[in-house]
A and B are shown apart, each in its own frame.
Chain A
Amino acid sequence: DAMVIQNPRYQVTQFGKPVTLSCSQTLNHNVMYWYQQKSSQAPKLLFHYYDKDFNNEADTPDNFQSRRPNTSFCFLDIRSPGLGDAAMYLCATSKGGSSYNEQFFGPGTRLTVL
Chain B
Amino acid sequence: AQTVTQSQPEMSVQEAETVTLSCTYDTSESDYYLFWYKQPPSRQMILVIRQEAYKQQNATENRFSVNFQKAAKSFSLKISDSQLGDAAMYFCAYNSGGGSNYKLTFGKGTLLTVNP
Contacts and interface: CB of A to CB of B under 8 A. Distances in A.
A, B: real partners: yes
Interface of A: 4, 31, 33, 40-45, 48, 50, 55, 57, 90, 92, 94, 98-108
A45 B103 contact: yes
Would you call the interface of chain B mostly helix, strand, loop, or mixed?
loop
Contacts of B43: 107
Given A4-B44, A101-B97, A103-B47, 4 more contacts: A41-B108, A41-B109, A43-B45, A43-B104
A50 B98 CA distance: 13
Contact of A103 (B97, B98, B104, B108): B104
B25 interface: no
A43 B91 contact: yes
A101 B102 contact: yes
Interface of B: 33, 35, 37, 43-47, 50, 52, 91, 95, 97-98, 100-104, 106-109
A42 B52 CA distance: 22
A51 B55 CA distance: 30
Nearest to A100: B33
Contacts of B44: 4, 105-108
A45 B104 contact: yes
A78 to B, nearest CB: 21
B49 to A, nearest CB: 11
B90 to A, nearest CB: 11
A8 to B, nearest CB: 14
A104 B45 CA distance: 8
A31 B102 contact: yes
> Closest 6 interchain pairs by CB?
A42-B106, A105-B45, A107-B44, A101-B95, A100-B33, A105-B44
17 contacts: A4-B44, A33-B102, A42-B91, A48-B103, A50-B100, A57-B103, A99-B97, A100-B33, A100-B50, A101-B33, A101-B97, A101-B101, A101-B104, A103-B47, A105-B44, A105-B46, A107-B44
Nearest to B35: A102
A42 B97 contact: no
B91 A102 contact: no
A105 B48 CA distance: 13
